[in-house]
Amino acid sequence: MSWRVLYTRQAQKDAKRLAAAGLKEKAQGLVRLLEEDPFQSPPPYEKLVGDLSGAFSRRLNIQHRLVYQVLEEEHIVKVLRMWTHYG
């Protein structure tokens, strides 16, 4: 069963920036992976702490990350950010 992917308003804004930076295909590939299994590795993911405790991060490139939450009971992946390093 595939996962449903939802985007926050901030992630939607970030998606426009990614397209302009040439990272759209990389982000789309990661989103497809999240639809299949948000815990699949590789590519590796980090479990975040602090303000983003409970969220996960995957690298788009050296600077940018895709940050998301997994709502297991609802079978939903919520993309929080897709730009900068947790900023």
Whole-prediction pTM:
0.92
Round to whole Å and give the CA distance between 8 and 6. Answer: 7
Overall average pLDDT of the 52-74 stretch: 95
What are the tens digits of pLDDT across the range 29-57?
999 999 999 999 999 999 999 999 999 99
Query: What angle is formed at CA 41 by the lines to CA 27 and CA 15, rounded to 5 degrees?
Result: 10
Confidence band for 86, pLDDT divided at 50, 70 and 90: low
